[in-house]
Amino acid sequence: MSTPRPPLPAEAQARRRSEIREFLRSRRSRLTPADVGMPAGGGRRRPGLRREEVAVLAGVGVSWYTWLEQGRDINVSAGVLDAVARVLRLDGAEREHLYLLAGLNPPRSPAGGGGGAPGGRPVPRELRRVIDGWLPRPAYVLDRHWNLAAVNDAARAVFGYREQDHNCLVSFFTSAFYRAALHRWQDAARAVAGQFRADAARYPDDPEFSRLAADLCAASAAFAELWAEHPVGSAMRGTKALAHPAAGELTFEYTSLPLPDLPGHRLLLHTPVAGTDTEPRLTALLDALRA
């Protein structure tokens, strides 16, 4: 069962209204009447669903759906949001995003969520020992804004990460190393932008997400284009493959783990994919750097 979220300050409410308006419009525009079993009219394939069509298919009033898309202060229920999500064919991450934008907590809270303060708390020594004990495999901790809070030597050597003045989102879209080394960069870029948007929705009263996105839109045309498409995603695990200039081909499976003692932070652990030469290449890379 979902529950209402606490009221937001006026500025945060304005951001939320803008976000839900653009999000729902973008999801309507990617469907056609044929996709949802409705006649297009005129015998031609018409792109995009109209608000009235979404309302009819979801079983809600046209005025109510219009108000929802405008971000007005109206009563919403989990059942109605689920109906809208079904009509717009939202995936799990997008459905959660809609709940958050509508002012409700999703029925299943995201792992690692919470309203802890961003930054300001040091990474405990015990957690640093875990990160260093993961060697020769990369491990690091991100805060809610994707700033690096702790990094082990393998993450420095493989990804070029450091803890001071380093943000993973910014590095991904502005680093020539990432663009050249990471396989399927464009696909990964869409996933990264979607994950950041989903994270931002969990903290609607935190203006730092908007600032980061605006700055990065100005610095990276690729990010600006993706951000305008309103991708939403969530990845607790996946695969990274890159061509490292010193170590050669490296392929990892990664897992993202929430840290309850550091709300909003998460630990990312990378494991060499079985059947590849990643682990011996990692060991050789670290030995060469320490020599």
CA distances from 145 to 35, 60, 207, 219, 281 (A): 37, 37, 11, 17, 31
Residue 145 pLDDT greater than 60, yes or no: yes
pLDDT at 71: 84
Q: Do 125-290 and 10-101 fall under one CATH topology? A: no
pLDDT at 114: 37
> Packing angle between helix 10-29 and helix 62-70, nearest 10 degrees?
120
- Record the tokens describing residue 140, joined without a space: 């690091």
Spatial contact of 272 and 279, defined as CB atoms under 8 Å apart: yes
> 50-59, 148-157, 164-173, 199-208: which range is least confident on average?
164-173
262 vs 109, residue with greater confidence: 262
Rg (CA), the chain: 21
Q: What value does the mean pLDDT of the chain take?
A: 86
pLDDT at 255: 96
Nearest one of 156, 163, 172, 112 to 246, comparing CA atoms: 156
Q: Which residues pair with 249 in a beta bridge?
A: 243
Q: At the fourth CATH level, which superfamily is domain 10-101?
A: lambda repressor-like DNA-binding domains (1.10.260.40)
Q: Residue 285, exposed/middle/buried by CB under 10 A (0-12, 13-18, 19+)? A: buried
Most confident of 13-17, 162-166, 183-187: 183-187
Q: What is the mean pLDDT of residues 117-138?
A: 82
pLDDT at 137: 96
Residue 240 pLDDT greater than 70, yes or no: yes
pLDDT at 93: 85
What amino acid occupies position 75?
N
- How many Å apart are CA 160 and CA 150, to the nearest integer? 13
pLDDT at 135: 94
What does the DSSP 8-state code read for residue 262? Answer: S
Q: Where are the domains of the chain?
A: 10-101, 125-290
> Who's near 14: CB < 8 A, 6+ residues apart?
none
pLDDT at 58: 87
Residue 230 pLDDT greater than 80, yes or no: yes
Spatial contact of 235 and 242, defined as CB atoms under 8 Å apart: no
Nearest one of 107, 91, 112 to 232, comparing CA atoms: 91
**Domain at 125-290: CATH architecture:** 2-Layer Sandwich (3.30)
Spatial contact of 137 and 119, defined as CB atoms under 8 Å apart: no
The percentage of the chain sitting over the pLDDT mark of 70, rounded to a whole number, equals 89
The total number of residues written for the chain in this structure: 291
What is the reported pTM? Answer: 0.70
SS (HEC) of 187-253: HHHHHHHHHHHHHHHHCCCCCHHHHHHHHHHHHCHHHHHHHHCCCCCCCCEEEEEEEECCCEEEEEE
Residue 88 pLDDT greater than 90, yes or no: yes
pLDDT at 17: 84
Residue 109 pLDDT greater than 50, yes or no: no
Q: What is the mean pLDDT of residues 250-273?
A: 94
> 96-100, 112-116, 208-212: which range is least confident on average?
112-116
Residue 172 pLDDT greater than 80, yes or no: yes
> Who's near 230: CB < 8 A, 6+ residues apart?
22, 23, 26, 27, 197
Residue 10 pLDDT greater than 90, yes or no: no
pLDDT tier at 41 (50, 70, 90 boundaries)? low
